[in-house]
A = this chain, B = another copy of it.
Amino acid sequence: MGADATRRHHGNRHGRSEQARLAVLEAADDLLVEKGFAGVTIEAIAAGAGVAKQTIYRWWSTKTDILLDAFLQDAAEDLPVPDHGDVGRDLRGYLRHLAYFLTRSDAGAVLRALLGHAQHDSAFAAVLRARFLDEQHDRDRLAIERAVRRGQLPADVDIAAEVDQLVGPIYYRALVTASAIDEDFTDRLVDAFLRRVGLTTNGDRPSGVNGRAELS
């Protein structure tokens, strides 16, 4: 890459400028974090990215499209589902991570903003579901599905309903009450789940120390 900062890409007959694309996504992300959703304007993104407005409109329709792209770029694989062969342990780790992601990470802030916008624009809500939420929902089911496949859980578990009982309270706290989500809370969700499906917890729940360790 040229060391000359003024030496910029100025068009290319075949295909778009990757440089411009990344600059736009980063500028949008930065604006959201620094100025909030209202500070994310196409003009501010263009200025921040050193890009012409038309270049943005050529590739995106709305600012939320950009934010969604930026979010997917950064955070797509941010929520791996642990696989230790034990549903309880897997879910505990997963929910802790989910809570952290939603309430404390930059990517989570973007997602909350997108979910907020989805309440105002059902077309965007559909896009958000198609491009992220559905896939995320699949990830949410994964630990349980694996356990069913392993025979650890009965095959007639209503996975959809169980998943919503596991993640629903976390989203609720993240989006509605904005209250803290500690590991006690997420662990308790898992315990309740395990009891519902007939797996007793082994007495004491893992201490915070263990939980911390699993997070890393």
Give A residues with C-beta under 8 Å from B: 36-38, 112-113, 115-121, 125, 129, 133, 137, 158, 161, 164-165, 167-173, 175-178, 185, 188-189, 192, 195-196
B175 & A169 in contact (Cβ 8 Å cutoff): no
A172 & B164 in contact (Cβ 8 Å cutoff): yes
Q: Copy number in this complex? A: 4
The DSSP consensus for interface residues of chain A is helix
Residue of B nearest to A136 (CB): B176
* A-B contacts besides A116-B117, A165-B165, A167-B172, 8 pairs, CB < 8 Å: A36-B120, A113-B120, A125-B178, A137-B177, A161-B185, A168-B168, A175-B175, A175-B176
B164 & A173 in contact (Cβ 8 Å cutoff): yes
**A165-B189 contact given A36-B120, A120-B116, A121-B36, CB 8 Å threshold:** yes
Measured in the bound complex, the distance between the Cα atoms of B196 and A100 in whole Å is: 26
